[in-house]
Amino acid sequence: MCTLHRSLANVVDSYSMWIYVFQTIAKPLLLFLAAGISETLSPSSCASALRKIFEDASAVMYEPANLEILIWIGEGLENIHLPLEDEEEVVSAVSLICGSIYNKELMRNLLARLLSSSFEAIGKFVNNSHCL
């Protein structure tokens, strides 16, 4: 299965512009890549393909279901323990979409969900910096 994820992710990376033509495959493709990111042998290919899709077919990704998948990937990123390069690919994809959402309320909600797992760590940092 890992070989399948890696191979398909490489194909998606190369042909990401086709998602404009076949918009109905966006959601299953995002779910497939999300599953591949958590596999031990395919995270690099899947993370790269995810970033490439969001660069080349960002208009398709603004669908609510696709944004939900993106947030789900971002929320689970801390539990996956990816190499730094792969994590950078995923964060780049997430920030690309979040940064280009025109609806400010939607953007605030998405960012709050993404950062909610960091609130406790940020709070501890702020409390400790008062001691300095």
For 68-112, what is each residue's pLDDT tens digit?
Answer: 888 888 777 777 778 888 888 888 888 777 777 778 888 888 878
Burial class of residue 97, CB neighbours in 10 A (0-12, 13-18, 19+): buried
Q: What is the mean pLDDT of residues 15-30?
A: 73
Q: What is the mean pLDDT of residues 48-54?
A: 80
Cβ–Cβ < 8 Å for 31, 72: no
For 6-19, what is each residue's pLDDT tens digit?
Answer: 677 777 767 666 66
Number of domains in the chain: 1
Neighbours of 33 (CB within 10 A): 28
Three-state SS at 107? helix
Query: Longest Cα pair distance anywhere in the chain, in angstroms?
Result: 56
Tokens linked to 3: 């070989």
Report CA Rg, the chain. Answer: 16
Residue span of the structural domain in which 20 resides = 2-131
